[in-house]
Structure 1
């Protein structure tokens, strides 16, 4: 059964080196739907984007990770980039935050290199995902099925490959948020 999205809350978990468009575009599209979006960073301070080939803007965080309760959010978005997911996948507090969404059956969107975080959170085994191509072998080694598609949805988990896939990624993410909890979304 489809639910309204207006007023739902979504967390975007990121740190320095996230791909700028992979945070800015989903944030804007979700907010356009009436969804409340909060950027969560490890220390609650501003985080600097990577804008394709060089450093981009600094984005203010709404909360520090230790002040954010995953219970307060209906869904989670993980932007990619190279530096951002590599840092977050080594942060046990971030991994615990991510795992909560899977344990609660809440939608999660991960794009580009962000599935690295999902691998370390141990939530990809038996799932079908896509990602930036260089992450494919890592996903397969973690027990996931990797496919080269614009967007893949697997029981509330939405994944895409790169910034050029953002329209499809955001469309499916809103759809999954509208559907609500997914019984197949487990840790």
Structure 2
């Protein structure tokens, strides 16, 4: 298992695209990843979210709001999935404050060691903090093309786009290509780390 010891966080909320989330659940575990689904739990111990197409239940009991800096740094990748998840997560009680999920993403972007994966409508979560992708190469759902231009990002007409520590993909139906790009990036990083000279040599 190539990912033994690798930790991946995936944001989740209601109206998630079941085929995509189920794919991640099996694909990353297949590689041996330590997989965590994170959400805003509103002070509750867990919430059961419902999928968009089949209303499939998904229990989440981990909150991104409770992660301190050290815990965040334990993650190798943070993924924002497609569909309505990001729209639900970008709610904020006060318009003067960033949505908690966007603030969490902002913290992840500040850590270059963490691979950031955003697919399809996941880029909605960037709207309150467009500087996160300004000047960077991304792809998104066709419906968000204007949003991405407004963010100041460079739209690239490809199914998956890799820009340093950021991986974006066009739609939830490209979840396989998206996951493969993230896996390949983490494998390359592991290889590069393994080739670094030991301290003192």
Residue equivalent to 2:89: 88
Q: Is structure 2 residue 153 aligned with structure 1 residue 144? A: yes
Indicate the residue corresponding to 1:165 in structure 2: 174
Alpha-carbon distance in 2 for matches of 1:68, 1:61 = 15
1:74 matched to 2:76: yes
2:34 corresponds to which residue? 36
Task: Please state whether the residue corresponding to 1:125 is helix, strand or coil.
Answer: coil
- SS of the residue 1:18 aligns to: coil
- C-alpha displacement of 1:10: 0.8
Paired with 1:31 and 1:141, the residues of 2 have a C-alpha distance of 36
Q: Equivalent residue for 2:136?
A: 127
Tell whether the 8 Å contact from 1:45 to 1:64 is kept in structure 2 after alignment. no
Q: Which whole-Å CA distance do the structure 2 matches of 1:127 and 1:71 have between them?
A: 23
Question: Aligned partners of 1:126 and 1:167: how far apart in 2?
Answer: 26
2:107 corresponds to which of 78, 84, 100: 100
8 Å contact 2:90–2:100 — kept in the other structure? no
Q: Distance in 1 between matches of 2:177 and 2:85?
A: 22
Provide the C-alpha distance between the structure 1 equivalents of 2:56 and 2:89, rounded to a whole number of angstroms.
19
User: Deviation of residue 97 (structure 1)?
Assistant: 1.1
Tell me: higher relative CO, structure 1 or 2? Use CA pairs within 8 A at least 6 residues apart.
Answer: 1
Q: 2:51 aligns with which of 49, 52, 55?
A: 49
Which residue of structure 1 lines up, in the alignment, with residue 187 of structure 2?
A: 178
Asked if 1:114 corresponds to 2:116, the answer is: no
- What is the alpha-carbon distance in structure 1 between the residues aligned to residue 150 and residue 39 of structure 2? 28
- The root-mean-square deviation of aligned C-alpha atoms, in Å, is 1.8
CA distance in 2, matches of 1:68, 1:169: 25
Could you say what secondary structure the match of 1:56 adopts? coil
The superposition leaves residues 73-102 of structure 1 with CA deviations (integer Å, 9 ceiling, x where unpaired) of 111011111x32112123421111111221
List gaps (5 residues or longer) in structure 1.
182-187
Higher strand share: 1
Count how many residue pairs are aligned between Structure 1 and Structure 2. 174
Separation of aligned partners in 2, 1:149 and 1:11: 25
